[in-house]
Amino acid sequence: MTKHVPSRKGREDAFIPRRLNILFAIVIVLFSVLISRLAYMQIINKDFYTDKLAKASQKVITNSSVRGQIYDAKGLALVENQVEQVATFTRSNKMTARQMKEIAAKLLQWVTLTDVDVTPRERADYYLADPEVYAEVVKTLPKDQRLDTDGNSLDETVIYNNAVASLTEEQTAYSEEELKVVELFSQMNAAAYFETVNLVTDPLTAEQIAMIAANEADLPEISTASSWKRVVAPTSLASIIGTVTTQQVGLPEEDAKEYLAKGYSLNDRVGTAYLEKQYEEVLQGQREKKEINLDRNGNVENITTIQEGSKGKNVKLTIDLAFQDGVNAILKRYFDSELATGSARYSEGVYAVALEPETGAVLAMAGYSHDTKTNEVKENALGTITNTFVPGSIVKGATLTAGWEEGVIAGNQVLLDQPIQFAGSAPITSWFTLYGNRNINAVEALQYSSNTYMVQIALDMLGQPYVPGMILKENDSLNTSMEKLRTTFGEYGLGAPTGIDLPLESTGFIPKEYSIANYLTNSFGQFDNYTPMQMAQYVATIANGGRRVSPHIAEGIYANNAEGGLGEKIEAISGKELNQVNLSAEEMALIQQGFYMVVNGGSGLTTGRGLAEGASVSISAKTGTAETFVTTETGQVLNAVNTNIVSYAPSSNPKIAVAVILPNLTDLNSAASKYITTEIINLYQSLHPMN
């Protein structure tokens, strides 16, 4: 029997329905996935995609408002906003570079530019603004500057930069008048879509404003508006005000990321230094926000204001300009006198800081810097927080504190003031040692300004009590003892951040490398360097009984009145208690008694009696005479002194603490710093009676 075998053609025909079924199944699966995805987008996650679509057709733009002002303690404006009319440009999303070029050329008929500073890149951007010109330049570029190794076009940004780099100086050589057009074009070209920028030109006249308005048809997106210019009054506080960027500069590069995270725009004007920077977010006005809605073709449908702009808040200072100017005048008069005698020929200047002890309010921060090469003297209030000086004996209250804290002295302990003689070295003495050895207590150590009392404390902290002719041992305890001494000094603010509400203050010059000799001399103020502000915080801490309070130059934040000036107080600003000095009330009272006796003691060894002469209130103080050296133009080395004084008044209920620093005088007996201190306190008493 013969078996029937299907033909090859028959078998192939049987496979066709099976293939179609598989294909239909795949199509059905794909349609199912598509329908599921559509359902997910239109039903389950509808809000997300609706919002995404809306955002794609919306743009929010912000415009900064007028900046707040800064006033002195009595409401006198120290920095204001000068309103001026400017030409403005608003860049639409459809405006081409060629159109901006044409607008800039037309606008130049109605505005003037005196100071034109055009960069090579701006010249190139202007040259390439015409599409035909750009296309020709690109066409002449080498192949590898247009295409990658696979023959695909490079990124347009890369090609453009290559085109810029290929231009010659001849191609971008423009006349003086053409450069003015380039300048205007560059300002316009820097604007983002829908952003309005103020164009920098010479101040507009009434006629120019009228002509711009009359020719608005030929000047699309050009208008005029009121702008403001930051004007700092020429006072002795001008240097601590700081500066504000222009709209063209916008956010400083180093701070841009931080400001953008806070909602700023790249062209916002911000404070770049000192008070303007410290209180940036207070002074910066509330930004106007507008929402622009576009249709599917990118045309503007409507513009809605979603946040009105408002002027920034104002800052009022703790400093009365009348007192500040008076302190400046006192400093200048005495420094000029020392210059006239030749004593201050090599001095770096003179500085004074006055604080309110209880609150830390800065009452004055004044100073003059002296260029020892040119002999030029300039106001330098900032030097009170940036310049450092050897303090001298003013630190002895802090050294006593270290002795009590470390348990090497107790109460008003008596020690023998005597020459401190180490084997193989010159003796350390007090200025009055030549009158013979004498037993003195802690109060008298301040009153007479004993160096040897302080050195004996330092030696005991080192674990090497003084024995005449002893050999000093350099060991591990040196670093520990110096750290303890500096930590105690830091409790008063010496060598530590004061916490003042100004950026960039120095924390002093505190060398990391030192010897045992440096450690000992540091105990009476002859090694580490401090700022005048640190020295003022030190004496203010003693005046208030041991509370270290951060100095503050701002008294409060204020609203604007109806005229845009100083309104009601919104927020008070006060100093913060940074720490309490680690002393008992009895020990702090001994320091205060010592400071009182420095000025009011009856002994012939009392160091600060001159401060009481002509004083209108009782003064407590500590003098500091730090030995230094200066070198003349001929190379001669002269002995000099820093004559520093820290003080407070009235002694029984202090309302003012003052630090005066007058460095590198070659008259070793100069009393100028004493006269300065008394006059500053008398001036404050006359303006703000303290009793």
pLDDT in tens, 240-266: 999 998 877 888 888 888 888 888 877
Q: Residues with Cβ < 8 Å from 635, sequence gap 6 or more?
A: none
pLDDT (tens digit, 9 = 90+) per residue, 304-325?
A: 666 666 788 999 999 999 999 9
Residue 455: helix, strand or coil by DSSP?
Answer: helix
- Min mean pLDDT across 15-29, 296-310, 526-540 is at 296-310
* Stretch (H or E) spanning 34: helix 8-39
* Stretch (H or E) spanning 184: helix 176-189
Is residue 642 scored above 90 in pLDDT? yes
Contact 357, 654 (CB under 8 A): yes
393 has catalytic annotation: yes
pLDDT (tens digit, 9 = 90+) per residue, 100-132?
A: 999 999 999 999 998 888 999 999 999 998 999
Predicted pLDDT of residue 276: 93
pLDDT (tens digit, 9 = 90+) per residue, 523-562?
A: 999 999 999 999 999 999 999 999 999 999 999 999 999 8
If pLDDT is split at 50, 70 and 90, which confidence band does 229 have? confident
If pLDDT is split at 50, 70 and 90, which confidence band does 287 have? low
Domain 93-190 sits in CATH at 1.10.10.1230
Q: In what order do the strands lie in the sheet with 288-294?
A: 58-63, 288-294, 300-307
Predicted pLDDT of residue 601: 94
Predicted pLDDT of residue 379: 94
Q: What are phi and psi of 126, to 5 degrees?
A: -65, -45
Predicted pLDDT of residue 221: 86
Q: How many CB atoms lie within 10 A of CB 268?
A: 20
If pLDDT is split at 50, 70 and 90, which confidence band does 344 have? very high
Average pLDDT over residues 78-95: 86
Question: Of the spans 161-165, 362-366, 432-436, which averages the highest pLDDT?
Answer: 362-366
**Closest residue by Cα to residue 598 from 634, 637, 648:** 648
Mean pLDDT of the chain: 88
Predicted pLDDT of residue 14: 54
Is residue 21 scored above 80 in pLDDT? no
Contact 556, 569 (CB under 8 A): yes
Is residue 44 scored above 80 in pLDDT? no
Predicted pLDDT of residue 217: 85
Contact 393, 525 (CB under 8 A): yes
Distance of CA 307 to the CA centre of its chain: 30
Predicted pLDDT of residue 252: 87
Locate CATH 1.10.10.1230 in the chain: 93-190
Fold that domain 388-546+581-626 belongs to in CATH = Beta-lactamase (3.40.710)
pLDDT (tens digit, 9 = 90+) per residue, 654-685?
A: 999 999 999 999 999 999 999 999 999 999 99
Predicted pLDDT of residue 10: 54
Higher per-residue pLDDT: 227 or 111: 111
Locate CATH 3.40.710.10 in the chain: 388-546+581-626
Contact 119, 196 (CB under 8 A): no
Contact 65, 298 (CB under 8 A): no
| Distance, CA of 546 to CA of 655 (rounded, Å) | 15
Q: Please count the residues of the chain.
A: 691
Is residue 49 scored above 70 in pLDDT? no
- Min mean pLDDT across 200-214, 293-307, 396-410, 549-563 is at 293-307
Q: How many CB atoms lie within 10 A of CB 148?
A: 11
Higher per-residue pLDDT: 21 or 521: 521
Report the percentage of the chain scoring pLDDT > 90: 61
Is residue 176 scored above 60 in pLDDT? yes
* Stretch (H or E) spanning 444: helix 442-447
Per-residue DSSP letter, 687: H
If pLDDT is split at 50, 70 and 90, which confidence band does 293 have? low
Predicted pLDDT of residue 305: 65
pLDDT (tens digit, 9 = 90+) per residue, 50-77?
A: 554 444 455 555 556 789 999 999 999 9
Predicted pLDDT of residue 53: 46
| Distance, CA of 69 to CA of 78 (rounded, Å) | 8
| Distance, CA of 420 to CA of 455 (rounded, Å) | 8
Task: Please state at what angle helix 396-405 crosses helix 451-462, rounded to 10 degrees.
Answer: 30
Is residue 99 scored above 80 in pLDDT? yes
Is residue 17 scored above 80 in pLDDT? no
**Closest residue by Cα to residue 361 from 579, 653, 546, 572:** 572
Average pLDDT over residues 506-517: 95
| Distance, CA of 610 to CA of 350 (rounded, Å) | 19
pLDDT (tens digit, 9 = 90+) per residue, 650-660?
A: 999 999 999 99
pTM here is 0.81
Question: Of the spans 58-67, 146-155, 224-233, 335-344, which averages the highest pLDDT?
Answer: 335-344
Higher per-residue pLDDT: 371 or 39: 371
| Distance, CA of 95 to CA of 86 (rounded, Å) | 22
Is residue 600 scored above 60 in pLDDT? yes
Q: Residues with Cβ < 8 Å from 159, sequence gap 6 or more?
A: 138, 141, 145, 146, 153
User: 64, 227, 393, 647: which is the annotated catalytic residue?
Assistant: 393
Is residue 495 scored above 90 in pLDDT? yes
Predicted pLDDT of residue 56: 47
Predicted pLDDT of residue 691: 74
